């Protein structure tokens, strides 16, 4: 992201506001994905707190200003703890003292630069990034990388944090397939050679992780705090889970049924949680690897 951005011209401003319908095709997950492709990774707590306060739309983000940021901070200090857990995913370094919450100086500047960037590029610019983002994720895992005996490729985490290695699911797991999509839809996708609709798969991953959390841990999380993405290629599909507690990106496996549905295996994430957040496990329960 460049240090400065030039002011937009009136015709650019008019074009921006005439593109309201374009943003409607971006889900919240897609919106953050294309923004991060443009400017780089954003801290998880910023995305969470902005979404909670309704800044989960490009048109609201481009109106963000210092007054808006102060309102967001006030909500976090006075009200947010009543609705979300006191974790770093929401309160950053202030998780133990939410009443002291503020958006730190560097991240404050980042938000204002984000606003300028959206104003400069216009909404339509980001909607056009939607498909390239998916293609980029699909191309990241090619067959040669997936079949090689070397260490699997790593996914770059936000804020230069380390990544858990990819581990194969234990052989004792019995995989239970999810409800498959209609056969006509699968055939149509193959015939047209289009990119599959992966965003429903992201919701399945979130639900799987969410249910596991509530069954085996003491953490109280909500669905929006669980970041998930799908890397889809012609033959292989992998997922990425952003840990709600530390924001590290963990690769998870999937197996595709003949009918086109995916079976998600979160063994990698369970191992990550066991290693980095052991204190959060319920004392009276063990844990197990889940699939969907």
- Give tens-digit pLDDT for 57-103: 888 888 899 999 999 999 999 998 888 888 888 888 998 889 999 99
Higher pLDDT, 38 or 136: 38
| 25 neighbors 137 (Cβ within 8 angstroms) | no
pLDDT band (50, 70, 90) for residue 130: low
| 32 neighbors 17 (Cβ within 8 angstroms) | no
Start-to-end Cα distance in the chain: 38
Instruction: Tell whether the model's pLDDT for residue 250 goes beyond 50.
Output: yes
Share of the chain above pLDDT 70, in %: 61
Which segment of 31-40, 53-62, 195-204 scores lowest on mean pLDDT?
195-204
pTM value?
Answer: 0.42
Instruction: Tell whether the model's pLDDT for residue 112 goes beyond 80.
Output: yes
When pLDDT is averaged across residues 270-282 and rounded to a whole number, the result is: 80
Residue 191 and residue 58: Cα distance in Å, rounded? 34
Q: 23: which strand partners? A: none
Distances (CA, A) of 256 to 123, 155, 234, 237, 261: 35, 21, 11, 7, 6
Q: Whose structure tokens read 């239970």?
A: 176
Give φ, ψ of 2 to 5 degrees: -70, 160
pLDDT band (50, 70, 90) for residue 160: very low
Closest CA to 60 of 157, 206, 68: 68
Amino acid 58: pLDDT: 87
The per-residue pLDDT of the chain, averaged, comes to: 69
């Amino acid at each position: 992201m460049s240090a400065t951005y030039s002011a937009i011209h009136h015709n650019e401003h008019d074009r921006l506001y005439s593109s309201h319908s374009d943003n409607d095709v971006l889900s919240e997950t897609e919106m953050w994905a294309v923004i991060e492709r443009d400017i780089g990774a954003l801290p998880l707590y910023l995305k969470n707190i902005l979404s909670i306060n309704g800044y989960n739309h490009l048109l609201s983000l481009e109106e963000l200003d210092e007054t808006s940021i102060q309102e967001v901070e006030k909500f976090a200090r006075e009200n947010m703890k009543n609705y979300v857990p006191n974790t770093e995913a929401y309160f950053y370094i202030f998780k133990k003292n939410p009443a002291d919450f503020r958006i730190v100086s560097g991240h404050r500047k980042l938000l204002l630069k984000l606003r300028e960037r959206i104003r400069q590029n216009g909404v339509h610019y980001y909607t056009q990034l939607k498909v390239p983002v998916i293609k980029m994720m699909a191309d990241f895992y090619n067959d040669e990388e997936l079949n090689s005996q070397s260490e699997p490729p790593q996914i770059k985490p936000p804020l230069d944090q380390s990544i858990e290695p990819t581990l194969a699911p234990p052989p004792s797991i019995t995989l239970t397939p999810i409800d498959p999509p209609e056969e006509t839809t699968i055939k149509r996708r193959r015939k047209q050679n289009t990119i599959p609709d992966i965003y429903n798969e992201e919701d399945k991953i979130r639900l799987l992780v969410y249910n596991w959390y509530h069954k085996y841990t003491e953490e109280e999380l909500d669905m929006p705090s669980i970041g998930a993405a799908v890397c889809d290629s012609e033959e292989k599909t992998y997922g990425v889970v952003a840990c709600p507690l530390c924001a590290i990106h963990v690769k998870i496996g999937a197996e595709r049924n003949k009918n086109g549905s995916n079976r998600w295996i979160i063994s990698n994430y369970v191992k990550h949680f066991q290693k980095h957040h052991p204190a959060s496990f319920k004392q009276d329960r063990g844990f197990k690897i889940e699939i969907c």
